Every structure is written in structure tokens, then in C-alpha cells.
Amino acid sequence: MAKSNLAARLLTAGVAVPLLLLIMFRAPPFAFGLVCIAASLLGSREVLRMTHPDDAAAQWIGVVQAVAVTAVIALAGEDRRLVVAMLVGVPLFGMLMPLVRLGDIGTAGLRIMAGAAVPIYVGASLGLLGRLRAASVDGAGWVLLALMLGWFGDTGGYFFGRFLGKTKLYEAVSPKKTRAGLVGAVVGALAGAVLASVWYLPRLVLPHAVALGLVSGLLGQAGDLTESLLKRSTGVKDSGSLLPGHGGILDRIDAVLVLGPLVYLYTLFEFSR
């Protein structure tokens, strides 16, 4: 990584991370829900610009769908009927959209699947992160855990890959990723989970933290590879240019889109008996 790019990444993180933590821990849950809605708007827009490059109207229809799913889950998640209706109805509507806006037959299959998937892939995942914040008194801690699993995993993967990486992990999808980087991602996520357990999340018992860290290291990398595959298949280098040194919002939250729901499901099954 070039020094100028690294500097830009550190500067962006130095501004964005403290602001995000302030909203998570000091503002009411509704405020973090709005952050998730904003991220859903930006992230779904980036995906749909890749899958629907020549149809701005379909892009914005898809954005509205994803944002609606995020808003309902994050802000009204206690209404299960409304959540189920959104999770079923919105993807079905998105899947049918190419019948109205036919366009190029050769890309119709991609657009059908993107219309169905984006409200879930981006909208529901970020909605669950917002619901995680609002669901309990220590909700901000659980959100921080999800973010730390992604951040620590990315950091561990970067340093292990840079200094130890030789054998490629999945060159057809991501030429720069190595097997050593995958090990580093698992080590980093494991460290983040254990740190949360002993520091600020006493309800996360250590054995569960270890298991969650190991699974998160693998799934976080799978989320990263999925976004890389999406970009390569559509001929895009970065999902966007919103964050200096980082690319688009999707480039920064690709692992969190997997890990947020994972942490939410853990809390749901562990503490809602």
C-alpha cells in the first residue's frame, strides 16, 4: 500500500471512528438507526450501480427498497409482522422489476437477482446492526463487537498477508489475498472477541468469545471475497470513492454485512430464551 494511500486511510478512520463511537454510546438508539439507514442508502446505491449501470431509475428504486428494509428492522423491529412482510415483499418486488424495465436481455438475470438480493444483503444486514443497538441496554457494546470483529480481522489479515503471505488464497477472486492473510484475519477477529469479553461485554463468556472470534474471522473474509467477486464480475475496482483511501462504503463494511447479523443471531439465541 502506498504511503499516501495509507495516510488517507488513517486520516479518514481517525475522523469517522470516534464520531461513530460517540453516536453509538452517547446518542439514543434512534440516532444509530439513522446511521444504518444512511449506510444502507450509500451501500445499496454502490451495488446497484454495478449491477444496473445503465438504469438510474432502477438503481434508485432498489435503493428505496433497501433503505425501507433497514428502517423497518432498525427502528420498528419489535413488530414482527411488519418485518416479515418487508423481508418477503420487498425482495419479490425487486426481483420482478426487470419485467417492467427490460433493458438488455443479457443482463436480465443479474438484475433479477440483484433486485431480490440487495434489500437483504445490504438493507437487512444493516437493519440488524441497528436492531442490535436498540435491543438491549448493552446494545452499543454488541455493535462495537461486530465492528471490532471486522476491524481486527482486516488489520490482522493485512499485516499477516504483507509480511508472511506467499501462497495465494483465491487468486481468481482477489489476487492480493493470501493464506497467511486468512490466518491473520482469524487471529485478529479472535483477539477482538476476547478483548470484548474481558473488557466491556461481561455477558459474552470467554468460551463463546473464542468460538465467535474463530467463526467471524472466516466469515468476515468470506464477506470480503464476496464483494471482491461482485466487483470483478462487473469490472469495477472500488465500489465507490466516498471514503478517501478506502474506496466506497461497501469496501469498508463488506465484512460487517456478514458479522453484524452473526452477532445479532448470537444474542438472539443466547439471551432470548
Structural domain boundaries enclosing 178 = 136-273
142 and 123 together in one domain:
no
Q: What is the mean pLDDT of residues 15-41?
A: 95
User: Of the residues 114, 134, 154, which one is the last residue of a structural domain?
Assistant: 134
12 and 129 together in one domain:
yes
Read off the pLDDT of residues 216-244 as tens digits, 9 standing for 90 and up.
999 999 999 999 999 999 999 888 767 66
224 and 268 together in one domain:
yes
Read off the pLDDT of residues 102-115 as tens digits, 9 standing for 90 and up.
989 999 999 999 99
Read off the pLDDT of residues 70-89 as tens digits, 9 standing for 90 and up.
999 999 988 999 999 999 99
Read off the pLDDT of residues 166-177 as tens digits, 9 standing for 90 and up.
999 999 999 999
53 and 90 together in one domain:
yes
| Cβ–Cβ < 8 Å for 232, 267 | no
- With the CA atoms of 132, 137, 34 and 111 taken in that order, what torsion angle do they form, in degrees rounded to the nearest 10? 10
Give how many domains the chain has, as a whole number: 2
User: Of the residues 75, 108, 134, which one is the last residue of a structural domain?
Assistant: 134
Residue 3's pLDDT is 54
90 and 160 together in one domain:
no
Residue 20's pLDDT is 94
Show the beta-strand stretches assigned E in the chain. 168-170, 174-178
Give the bridge partners for 243, in sequence order.
Answer: 247
Asked whether the predicted pLDDT for residue 130 surpasses 70, the reply is yes
Q: What is the mean pLDDT of residues 144-151?
A: 97
Find, among 266, 178, 158, 173, the residue nearest to 223 by Cα: 173
103 and 3 together in one domain:
yes
Read off the pLDDT of residues 180-205 as tens digits, 9 standing for 90 and up.
999 999 999 999 999 999 999 999 99
Residue 8's pLDDT is 64
37 and 54 together in one domain:
yes
C-alpha cell at 33: 438507526
Read off the pLDDT of residues 33-71 as tens digits, 9 standing for 90 and up.
999 999 999 999 999 999 999 899 999 999 999 999 999
82 and 170 together in one domain:
no
Integer CA distances (angstroms), 213 to 132, 184, 209, 262, in order: 18, 12, 6, 11
219 and 118 together in one domain:
no
C-alpha cell at 70: 433497514
Find, among 186, 239, 238, the residue nearest to 211 by Cα: 186
